């Protein structure tokens, strides 16, 4: 069994760690693979890297024909404000990449496509009076990132209906863990900065706009969710699942949980753009009922595990 993964970052490697436990090989497609990062994350796991761009349809087809994956996981793309800087490049990568992936899957007959979406796909302008956001909530908030993720999902849904492959979409909260943050995850980089400062005894400087309430999920838990999405039988034809703690975690709560693991953490807020908080929680019941997933970490235990891994990797 083999899975092909676009993007050799935090989420792709989190899945690869779980796949390795089943004895499965993974093949990454990444134009600029970071060999040191992959070695750090995966050790002696069975993986290969194809240095190619997700937008290259011939490259994707060649890689699929060579490695014959049963499952294809698409994670490559830009996140947050990077999608609009500039927007043409952001959409070329995010939308052009998903078009190439969908067409490659269609032409080669891959059985199951896993797509990494985001809780940012939802239209957060419509949350007033809403108790929780389930997977049927309106998509596309008008922001470049949100609309690009909505476009990705709609394109893949149409391909799935037309072509019949299995499609599983995961919409995680902000994923944190030992990443390299090339894609632009401001939330992931914020958590990493807090961990690094707490371990090293320095002061974390956090931009005011990053002090919003947010949904989060630890990398180990998103890896496990993807593993279930790859292996679970009898899922709906184009299933979609919220993956998080199902709770809007305020910045103060995040810092308090961080200090439980790193009591000497020092913090400075850099004044600037006020945060836009998202206090409406995600409904994660569908992931529990259909996928068999729920978080195995609490916020506190996840941050403690992250701090311990950072210490180990930077000893």
Q: Give a yes or no: residue 118 inside a domain.
A: yes
pLDDT in tens, 153-166: 999 999 999 999 99
pTM: 0.96
Q: Give a yes or no: residue 172 inside a domain.
A: yes
What length does the chain have?
315
Task: State the DSSP string of 9-62.
Answer: SHHHHHHHHHHHHTT-EEEEE-SS--HHHHHHHHTT--EEEE---TT-HHHHHH
Nearest to 225 by CA among 208, 237, 239, 213: 239
pLDDT in tens, 66-125: 999 999 999 999 999 999 999 999 999 999 999 999 999 999 999 999 999 999 999 999
CATH at 116: 3.40.50.720
Asked if pLDDT for residue 305 goes beyond 70, the answer is: yes
Q: Give a yes or no: residue 63 inside a domain.
A: yes
Q: Are 41 and 111 in contact (CB under 8 A)?
A: no
User: How many domains does the chain divide into?
Assistant: 1
Which pair of tokens denotes residue 242? 């919220």
Instruction: Count CB-CB contacts under 10 A for residue 124.
Output: 20
In whole angstroms, what is the distance from residue 33 CA to residue 8 CA?
6
Domain that holds residue 37: 2-178+217-246+280-296
Q: Give a yes or no: residue 264 inside a domain.
A: no
Q: Give a yes or no: residue 311 inside a domain.
A: no
Nearest to 103 by CA among 132, 61, 66, 139: 61
pLDDT in tens, 219-270: 999 999 999 999 999 999 889 999 999 999 999 999 999 999 999 999 999 9
Q: Which residues contact 46 (CB under 8 A, 6 or more apart)?
A: 20, 23, 24, 25, 26
Q: What are phi and psi of 32, to 5 degrees?
A: -135, 70
Q: Give a yes or no: residue 27 inside a domain.
A: yes
């Amino acid at each position: 069994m083999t899975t092909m993964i676009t993007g050799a970052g935090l989420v792709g490697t989190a899945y690869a760690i779980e796949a390795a436990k089943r004895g499965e090989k993974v093949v990454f497609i990444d134009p600029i693979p970071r060999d040191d990062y992959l070695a750090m994350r995966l050790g002696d796991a069975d993986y290969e890297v194809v240095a190619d761009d997700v937008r290259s349809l011939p490259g994707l087809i060649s890689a699929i024909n060579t490695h014959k994956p049963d499952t294809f996981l698409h994670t490559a793309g830009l996140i947050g404000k990077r999608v609009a800087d500039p927007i043409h490049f952001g959409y070329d990568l995010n939308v052009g990449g998903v078009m190439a992936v969908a067409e490659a899957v269609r032409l080669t007959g891959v059985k199951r496509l896993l797509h990494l979406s985001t809780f940012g796909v939802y239209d957060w302008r419509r949350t007033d009076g809403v108790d929780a956001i389930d997977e049927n909530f309106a998509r596309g908030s008008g922001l470049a990132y949100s609309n690009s993720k909505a476009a990705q999902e709609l394109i893949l849904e149409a391909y799935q209906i037309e072509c019949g492959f299995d499609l599983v979409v995961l919409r995680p909260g902000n994923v944190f863990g030992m990443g390299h943050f090339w894609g632009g995850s401001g939330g992931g980089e914020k958590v990493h900065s807090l961990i690094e400062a707490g371990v090293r005894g320095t002061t974390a400087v956090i931009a005011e706009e990053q002090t919003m309430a947010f949904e989060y999920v630890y990398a180990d838990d998103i890896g496990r969710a993807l593993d279930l999405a790859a292996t679970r039988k009898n899922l709906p034809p184009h299933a979609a699942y919220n993956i998080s703690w199902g709770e809007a975690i305020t910045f103060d709560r995040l810092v308090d949980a961080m200090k439980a693991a790193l009591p000497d953490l020092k913090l400075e807020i850099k004044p600037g753009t006020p945060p836009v908080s998202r206090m409406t929680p995600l409904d994660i019941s569908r992931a529990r009922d259909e996928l068999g997933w729920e978080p195995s970490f609490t916020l506190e235990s996840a941050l403690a595990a992250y701090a311990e891994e950072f210490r180990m990797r930077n000893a």
